[in-house]
Structure 1
């Protein structure tokens, strides 16, 4: 894991740890000796969700999750665990944005997501039981059925990504002088938007809401407003840092922004913050010019980034964190697909011969 990525994971882990009781912090601490940092973060996230459920449903009658004790957990039954897994099917959480606005976000889990959270509970309860902190492990007999995995949808190849970029940069297949003049005014903006999709896996709403001050030049990072209203710091890959900085200089020199849109990183020709619909239309325009058959949307770039990031670092939890997923199961289900070369090389090198 790169230093900037490790810093990001540790920051998110500390946020979760602030809401956990002391004996659970001990579990996370011990886990760090044998598990990856990303796995420990998932443990903390799953247990925070579990505790939130127990407190909200008054199964454990305390004011806050930090007040939960091992005595409380010792009083749980198998039914409590099953009820929690059923709750995960569809639940709502309320978040507050930096401006104080409350946003309700709905979460869902299929059997794969429930099984992963059950796995966390099993590891945790086994830890408590083996240290005689609880008298019995109520998770041992709880089982979940697995459904067939969903096939991952379309993603772009490396060549298709580069062709898309070249189409913008090299003014390919511009059909008229009018279109050419418009393209010259917007092409660098459009190129940077495409680069953010491909190299950071951002959602279209996350791109359109970026402000100038969200670009941290010294830290090589972006501050992104995620779906749940939380802000997340995303490191800017070295490969695109200079591109972003050049655009930032251009944007600061622009004078046509309307007053209420003057902080927006990406502007329309009318001086307004660019609309997600305009971004989608822009991608379709360049898809046609690039003569690519696949329908290209912001989420196609997001899937492309997610799969390539996973295949590069082979860490599902890290990829989930970078994508801003509430659950690593979403990443496993729709993004974490080993490419053909990894599958081929793993089999070619497989042997029982002594190393």
Structure 2
């Protein structure tokens, strides 16, 4: 069965919902296709203790402030899931789920969005699938030899699953720090980072990060010196659990090991350490396989964009994948502005 609409939004997480909000304001006909069975996007699959980097009021999608969470300055993932579910309902956004997009094709006039439940023909497409579904694992020597547990951030849930074990957490970003702090009390933890951890000042949270990312994008667009953006401030936001573990001396990072072997890791000085599990907090890549039929991906898998708009095909917008598709666009507070611009540009394109 083939259905028709002005715009198909692929992905029903925070970026897809922000896109839907602004497409509605542009009076466009659209549908949001979400592969998940329930609302909440990737937030419903995170580890149990995950906290936002900002207070609720500074973690909101366009049009509706996130309410605070009782007893928590920084809301947890479950609170975000509830907010996204209510947001979707409040604005009566046309989300179809579970619908998995197989590929997007171009017939020269319309874009055909093929799914596991039929095809949609659209005049424009917004891809908002994020990165959670494409975890990155580094090619560390011996990774295939290790007989203990190996998992990525996306598979970690709670410290009780590792109680009494020797666990190596790899990664010096926010997920690495938060998961290391989560495990510091119940396991024999070794936290490994490529470089010494760089904590942001304790009074800095997601509000400052959003401002820094926006200032960097503005400077680059105006041809001024690169401000460095968020990276100039540090790598780790000291949310309360991380701050507490750090201040208790439980978050001492070791340099990266050189390889894994059957039962553990080997270090640069030739020594080795046994381990029961390795948790790779090593980031993500854009989940863009559904766009492969369009042949737009360049080096490193990115599609060239001006803002959110594909350089080669202005009918396609990419939203929520990081700074290359809008300053802080992978965050709740940051996705609103690029979503608004994408909807505006699409409305102008379709009115011609």
Q: TM-score, normalised by structure 1?
A: 0.25
Higher relative contact order (CA 8 A, sep 6+): 2
From the two aligned structures, give the one with the greater strand fraction: 2
TM-score, L = length of structure 2: 0.26
Structure with greater helix share of residues: 1
